[in-house]
């Protein structure tokens, strides 16, 4: 059966047991449909070899070799990854554009008796919907930003808001990056993979309710925000968390424990600030790392680097905001802040909505 996706939400509403991406591992790694597993019918080397034969020898020889290779790989997947699937299993199979790779694999699975569907247009059809959602349409719900200087626990508070009935998008979570030079948390998704994750979240928003997003730059690590979302964020009302520097330094030291536990990594990251800070200040910060004075280091980084940069950024975009004071960034203080911000989001969005 051929399945057509008309919206991003169709992927979950159609109720397949599993999504199988039969593209090569490198294609899958670049981007794939949410929740898909990769069972390649041609790996990267096989795909390159068959492509070369197609161009340099003949299409017939390429198809003959391709069929034999697909059959061998399909047999391996059936005997291993799919060995425990029951008779009523309903997979959705796709390749790059719904061509020979997905159809060949689906035909074999159908002969076993499984109820197989093929995604019409393959990955390209999915990607087209992602691009339309991010680049051709406005953000579907009114945006409210959580702002505040470094260390003001914006991400932690953002993740507390759903418990208060507020819909949110955690851009840093989607990007697997905390949004600063010190913010790497592992391997980031590629741009296309980030956009696919983001588009899925946007598709799930209730247009009648505000969505709260953390204030960010136009790039988070190495991934970029789509222009439409970035514009909406620049014009959105802001709730700015105000906390004193000592409280933020304590919180930051805890939040970045992975950095303080790895002094060599921390020193290397501080070294990247040399183009922006005097050599004597860099040397002082390196000495604080070696002495284990991490709260003092965090306070100085905020005073001399991050707080001034935040102020310049806000001045450049002309951001206005509603302040909320945070006497404490301890867990109970964050809960109170989340409740306060939840009560503010709706009225701020309602006041802004005519200008969206």
Of 291, 296, 287, 310, the closest CA to residue 180 belongs to 310
Which residues have CB under 8 Å from 287's CB, separation 6+?
none
The CA distance from 172 to 186, in Å, is 12
Give the residue ranges of DSSP H helices in 132-178.
154-158, 171-175
Half-sphere exposure at residue 170, Cβ-oriented, CA atoms within 13 angstroms: 15
Q: Which of 205, 225, 206 is nearest to 215 (CA)?
A: 225
- The DSSP element (H or E) to which 116 belongs, if any, is none
Active-site residue, 234 included: no
Q: At what angle do helices 122-131 and 191-203 cross, to 10 degrees?
A: 70
Say if strands 223-224 and 219-220 run parallel, antiparallel, or are unpaired: antiparallel
Both tokens of residue 87? 């008779």
Give the separation between CA 261 and CA 243, rounded to whole angstroms. 25
Q: Which of 95, 146, 266, 348 is catalytic?
A: 95
Say if CB 286 and CB 264 are below 8 A apart.
no
Active site residues: 95
């Amino acid at each position: 059966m051929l399945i057509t996706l008309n919206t991003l939400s169709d992927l979950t509403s159609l109720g397949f047991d599993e999504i199988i991406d039969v593209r090569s591992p490198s294609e899958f790694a670049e981007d794939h449909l949410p929740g898909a597993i990769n069972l390649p019918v041609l790996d990267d080397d096989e795909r390159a070899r068959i492509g070369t034969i197609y161009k340099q020898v003949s299409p017939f020889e390429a198809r003959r070799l391709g069929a034999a290779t697909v059959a061998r790989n399909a047999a391996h997947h059936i005997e291993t990854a799919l060995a425990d699937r029951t008779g009523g299993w309903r997979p959705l199979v796709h390749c790059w554009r719904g061509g020979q790779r997905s159809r060949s694999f689906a035909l074999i699975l159908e002969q076993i008796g499984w109820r197989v569907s093929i995604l019409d247009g393959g990955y390209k059809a999915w990607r087209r919907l992602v691009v339309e959602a991010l680049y051709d349409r406005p953000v579907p719900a009114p945006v409210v930003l959580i702002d505040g200087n470094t260390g003001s626990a914006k991400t932690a508070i953002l993740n507390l808001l759903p418990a208060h009935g507020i819909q949110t998008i955690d851009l840093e979570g989607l990007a697997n990056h905390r949004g600063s030079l010190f913010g790497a948390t592992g391997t980031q998704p590629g741009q296309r993979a980030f956009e696919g994750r983001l588009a899925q979240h946007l598709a799930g928003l209730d247009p009648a309710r505000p969505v709260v997003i953390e204030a960010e730059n136009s790039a988070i690590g190495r991934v970029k925000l789509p222009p439409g979302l970035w514009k909406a964020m620049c014009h959105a009302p802001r709730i700015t968390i105000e906390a004193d520097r000592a409280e933020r330094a304590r919180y930051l030291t805890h939040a970045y424990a992975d950095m303080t536990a790895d002094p060599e990594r921390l020193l290397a990251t501080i070294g990247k600030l040399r183009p922006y800070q005097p050599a004597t200040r860099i040397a002082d910060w390196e000495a604080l790392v070696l002495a284990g004075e991490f709260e003092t280091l965090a306070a100085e980084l905020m005073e001399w680097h991050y707080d001034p940069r935040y102020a310049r950024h806000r001045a450049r975009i002309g951001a206005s905001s509603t302040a909320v004071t945070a006497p404490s960034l301890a867990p109970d203080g964050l809960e109170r802040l989340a409740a306060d911000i939840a009560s503010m989001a709706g009225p701020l969005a309602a006041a802004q909505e005519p200008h969206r």
